Amino acid sequence: MYPESAHTSGALDARSRELRLKAVTAFAAARRGHLPSAFSLVEILRVLYDRVMRFDPVRPQWEERDRLIFSKGHGCLALYAILADKGFFPESELLGFCQPEGRLGGHPEFGKVPGVEASTGSLGHGLSMGVGRALALRGQGPRVFVLDSDGECDEGSLWEAALGAAKHRLDHLTVLVDCNHMQSYGSTAEVLPLDPLADKWRAFGIAAEEVDGHDPDRLEAALARVPFQPGRPSVLICHTVKGKGVPFMENNPSWHHKNRATDAEIAAVRAALGEVR
């Protein structure tokens, strides 16, 4: 198992706080959402969009772009924050999250939100879509990334897709698992133990590595090595903390999906992230 100390990185830097606060902007507008699930994803998405993936926000359907299938759809507050930050849509649209007049829903929708490659959130299906995209793009240059969660690894459809990816030797396909060790109402160890998770992926023919999912430099270094083995798909298990950056939210199941958040709760989240108002 990955050492416990390796996924408890210290203080967030300015970039990580900035993106979390953008997600809070959307959350505050709706007073609801899966904020802790988004906060465990921020550094993963930050590295993908700041340092790894090829894309063009002016031409979201540019044929040479890399594809990200955001399978962990309920963590979309983090995705919306980075897409707005990169200019796929105006940051003012974050205020329309889960609003009748807005297009940013509680799960991302393809064809409605620029930069979203697939409608996701029915957990366990993203990797199947990623395998299909990777098959269609084989030999053409673009890479395919799929962002899953560790709780999602309970789904049998995910493992069927993994078998197909290995069979077709899709080494331009990379799976990133947001391994925050929590599910909706408890720890993964309590709900359905997954360890040894990396060995499970290896047994299905996938080359697997593990990393601190809150360390941008280590994430970038790991992603620079994909494919980890020629002729094999790669999986990078990113050990994270659910609710990272807000101590009272971290690993707290009562915050999994916060409904009707109060002004005091929102203010406390902003204060924990260092925002001065």
Distance separating alpha carbons of residues 165 and 211, to the nearest angstrom: 22
pTM, to two decimals: 0.95
Q: How deeply is 38 buried, as exposed, middle or buried, from its count of CB atoms within 10 A (0-12, 13-18, 19+)?
A: buried
171-187 tens-digit pLDDT: 999 999 999 999 888 89
Query: What span, in angstroms and rounded, lies between the C-alpha atoms of 52 and 140?
Result: 18
- The pLDDT score that the predictor gives to residue 3 is 47
Length of the chain in terms of residues written: 277
Question: Taking the CA of residue 242 as centre, how many other CA atoms within 13 Å lie in the half-sphere pointing to its CB?
Answer: 25
Q: What percent of the chain has pLDDT over 70?
A: 96
Confidence of residue 11 (pLDDT cuts 50, 70, 90): confident
Contacts of 95 (CB under 8 A, 6+ apart): 25, 26, 29, 102
Is the link from the previous residue into 227 a cis peptide, with omega within 30 of 0? yes
Buried b (16+ CB within 10 A) or exposed e, 47-73: bbbeebbebebeebeeeebbbbbbbbb
pLDDT tier at 9, thresholds 50, 70, 90:
low
86: number of Cβ within 10 Å? 14
CB 104 within 8 A of CB 114: no
pLDDT, residue 185, reads 85
Q: What's residue 65's pLDDT?
A: 98
CA distances for 130 relative to 12, 184, 231, angstroms:
31, 24, 17
Give the model's confidence band at 276: pLDDT under 50 very low, under 70 low, under 90 confident, else very high.
low
What's the confidence (pLDDT) of residue 184? 84
| Mean pLDDT score of the chain | 95
> Does the pLDDT value for residue 6 go beyond 90?
no
Domains by residue range for the chain, with CATH: 10-272 (3.40.50.970)
Interval 56-91: pLDDT, tens: 999 999 999 999 999 999 999 999 999 999 999 999
In this predicted model, what pLDDT tens digit does every residue of 118-153 receive, in sequence order?
Answer: 999 889 999 999 999 999 999 999 999 999 999 999
pLDDT in tens, 220-274: 999 999 999 999 999 999 999 999 999 999 999 999 998 899 999 999 999 999 9
